[in-house]
Amino acid sequence: EPEVTQTPSHQVTQMGQEVILRCVPISNHLYFYWYRQILGQKVEFLVSFYNNEISEKSEIFDDQFSVERPDGSNFTLKIRSTKLEDSAMYFCASSPDYLQNIQYFGAGTRLSVL
Amino acid sequence: ILNVEQSPQSLHVQEGDSTNFTCSFPSSNFYALHWYRWETAKSPEALFVMTLNGDEKKKGRISATLNTKEGYSYLYIKGSQPEDSATYLCAYHPVNDYKLSFGAGTTVTVRA
């Protein structure tokens, strides 16, 4: 069964460093999302992406964050200069359409900023 | 910010017993309510997408109901098994908004 894959499963970085979180969505899906969950909090929306551009972003998704779909298969989230408060589980999701909007999630990347 | 609440936060169930828990969400401008099952270190697995008031969905021993007028959904697990142990997340989105707003989850632990 097709699945969303995310790499790495765990990323440890120093404050101020850049990180790139990678996702391979399900191949025929058109809508892509990043969410995150800070330990002990709810899963929260970061950004949605459709037709090679951002369709919506949350307040969290400031200038330090960017997304790309560089080659038609990968979908990446970049954090330019990580802060301690960026430590969280980051989930990628993809959806084939917006009508039912079933979002299929990857297993997440745990980002630890030291 | 759309307020989605789940209760209880956690529950322990004896194997073979049935259980249920709730998700509440804004009733205005409703489009869909999603239920996910999430085991540690795995991907959240989509269980149900519910869109119509009065909807009931079933997958094996797990079922869900939806009341959009009062803004709540119940998830039921019949005859709980240890493999049902997981965190169950509900997520809501209104019309013309495709991002999901999640509840905090209900963590179910089934004791053998």
* Any A CB within 8 A of B49 CB: yes
* Distance separating alpha carbons of residues A87 and A37, to the nearest angstrom: 9
Q: What is the dihedral of CA A62, A65, A66, A67, to 10 degrees?
A: -110
Closest in A3, A48, A58 to B43, CB measured: A3
Q: Which pairing describes strands B62-67 and B72-77: parallel, antiparallel, or unpaired?
A: antiparallel
Which residues of chain A have a CB within 8 Å of the CB of B31?
Answer: 101
Three-state DSSP state, A86: helix
Q: What is the pLDDT of residues B79-108, one digit of tens each?
A: 999 999 999 999 999 998 889 999 999 999
Q: Do A105 and B102 touch (CB under 8 A)?
A: no
Calculate mean pLDDT across residues A51-55: 92
CA distance A66 to A20: 9
Q: Which residues of B82-97 are buried (b: 16+ CB within 10 A; e: fewer)?
A: eebbbbbbbbbbbeeb
Residue B5 has pLDDT above 70, yes or no: yes
Please identify among residues 70-109 of chain A the ones whose CB lies closer than 8 Å to any CB of chain B: 91, 95, 98, 100-108
Across the range A53-73, mean pLDDT stands at 93
Helices H, strands E: what count in chain B? 0, 11
Per CB-CB distance under 8 Å, the chain B contacts of A102 are: 34, 46, 49
For CA atoms B2, B7, B12, B18, the dihedral sign is: negative
Give CA–CA dist B34/A17, Å, rounded.
Answer: 36
pLDDT in tens, A7-49: 999 999 999 999 999 999 999 899 999 999 999 999 999 999 9
**pLDDT tens digits along B32-76:** 999 999 998 899 999 999 999 999 999 999 999 999 999 999 999
Q: Can you give the pLDDT at residue B26?
A: 94
Residues sharing a CB contact under 8 Å with residue B65, sequence separation 6 or more, in sequence order: B54, B55, B56, B73, B74, B76
Distance CA B106, CA B51 (A): 21
Pick A42's closest partner by Cβ from B32, B93, B104: B104
The pLDDT value given to residue A71: 83
pLDDT at B1 over 70: no
- In this predicted structure, the answer to whether residue A68 has a pLDDT above a threshold of 70 is yes
Q: Extract the tokens encoding B71.
A: 């803004």
Mean pLDDT of chain A: 94
pLDDT confidence of residue B70: 95
SS3 label, residue A85: helix
A44 touches chain B (CB under 8 A): yes
Contacts of B110 (CB under 8 A, 6+ apart): B12, B13, B14, B15, B80, B81, B82, B83, B84, B85
A42 and B102: CB-CB below 8 Å? Answer: yes
The structure tokens 């959240």 sit at B44
Residues A59-65 have a mean pLDDT of 95
DSSP bridge pairs for B24: B5, B72
- Chain mean position to CA A13: 17
